[in-house]
Amino acid sequence: MKQPVYSVVIPAYNEQEVIRETYMRLTDVMQKMSETYELIFVNDGSKDQTAYIIAEFCEKDPAVRLINFTRNFGHMSAISAGMEHARGQAIFVIDADLQDPPEVFPIMAEKWKEGYHVVYGKRLQRKGESVFKRLSAKLFYKFIRRMTSVDLPPDTGEFRLIDRQVCDVVNKLPEKNRYIRGLVSWVGFKQVPVEYVREARFAGKTKYPLRKMFLFAMDAITSFSYKPLKLATFAGFLISFVSFLYILYVIYEYFFTDRTVAGWASTIAAILFTQGIVLMILGLMGEYIGRIYTELQNRPNYIIQEIIEKDND
Ligand code: UDP
Ligand code: MG
């Protein structure tokens, strides 16, 4: 199938428990839409049976393609690879875990046919996720909106349809740190949300533990904004100002009272506090310098070991 109407990009990392169900549900939905389609599974270095199971689909079904990475490169890289290999006129992106219902595809396709370039899924409700996950996600989106100047729609993940034209533009963006939903939002075009209920994972468990979520948030913020650097400057000014007032007070004490030896505790406190702030600001600088470094290294976002599809045999 050289140029199908629809491509579906599915990043998968250790999803052996769900991948069969995912394939069946996707096939079901795509066939009902009665247009040509391809399913692009990107196996992001899974350590379980995921790749073998998908390879089985490829043997029977010419609509399926499997991109095997050489190791785990991350969710965003997997989606990037899928988008770069998609040949459809409209590209759906969906997680492998069935948290985002493929049954929403026809609604997205309808909007696309009306002329929208990006149709993104907006979560109305999240089922089966812990209170902590929900709260952290909420804070995450709030914080991102505050810290960046790009208008990132809240409660939006990677579940969306993008038009060929948008896909080409996003693929051409050269940056290595790819926060895809940010990039798609940044490029503009006509974008519209479609609301849906986010289900619990069909099986398996989340690959975004707290540590990864924190790194993800850092990536999201530093790739779209310099505001944290401004915050650092602001903190610097504020602390200098407070210190200045304190110095005035110290001078006053020296000249007008006889309590000058006291104040050891407050000196130590002030030193520790300012040192903390300085370290924090240095860390922040380091974050941006690190990003410049990775961009300069200019390594690829992912390495493909092989692409499996029926046509190739
Ligand atoms: N994923 C991936 N590489 C990774 C981590 C996750 O390709 O390193 C895939 C995973 O298989 C799933 C999607 O990205 O299809 C979203 O991951 P997950 O469901 O674990 O995240 P959550 O929904 O909990 O935020
Ligand atoms: Mg999930």
Return the sign of the alpha-carbon dihedral for residues 176, 97, 142, 161.
positive
Distance separating alpha carbons of residues 173 and 183, to the nearest angstrom: 8
**Per-residue confidence of the chain (313 residues) as pLDDT tens digits?**
578 999 999 999 999 989 999 999 999 999 999 899 999 999 999 999 999 999 999 988 899 999 999 999 989 999 999 999 999 999 999 999 888 889 889 999 999 999 999 998 888 766 666 777 778 777 877 777 777 766 777 777 889 999 999 999 999 988 887 888 888 888 888 888 888 887 777 667 777 777 777 787 777 777 777 777 777 778 877 887 887 788 788 778 777 877 666 676 677 777 877 887 787 788 888 888 888 888 888 888 899 999 888 864 4
* Contact (CB, 8 A) for 86 and 3: no
CA of 81 to the centre of ligand 1 (A): 15
Of 158, 207, 215, the residue with max ligand 1 atoms within 8 A of its CB, to mutate for a pocket test, comes to 207
Structure tokens at 93: 């992106």
**In the chain, alpha helices (H):** 19-32, 50-60, 75-85, 105-114, 131-147, 164-172, 180-186, 210-224, 227-256, 264-297
- Write the CA distances from 42 to 51, 200, 210, integer angstroms: 9, 22, 24
**Ligand 1 atom closest to Cα of residue 74:** 8
Structure tokens at 69: 């990475």
Of 14, 23, 75, 132, the residue with max ligand 1 atoms within 8 A of its CB, to mutate for a pocket test, comes to 75
- pLDDT value, residue 260: 62
**DSSP state, 102?**
G
pTM over 0.85: no
**Ligand 1 atom closest to Cα of residue 99:** 23
Q: Which residue has the tokens 């007070």?
A: 249
Structure tokens at 97: 């875990």
CA of 19 to the centre of ligand 2 (A): 13
Residues lining ligand 1, Cβ inside 6 A = 11-13, 15, 44, 72, 74-75, 78, 95-97, 99, 206-208
Judged by DSSP in three states, 304 sits in strand
CA of 208 to the centre of ligand 1 (A): 7
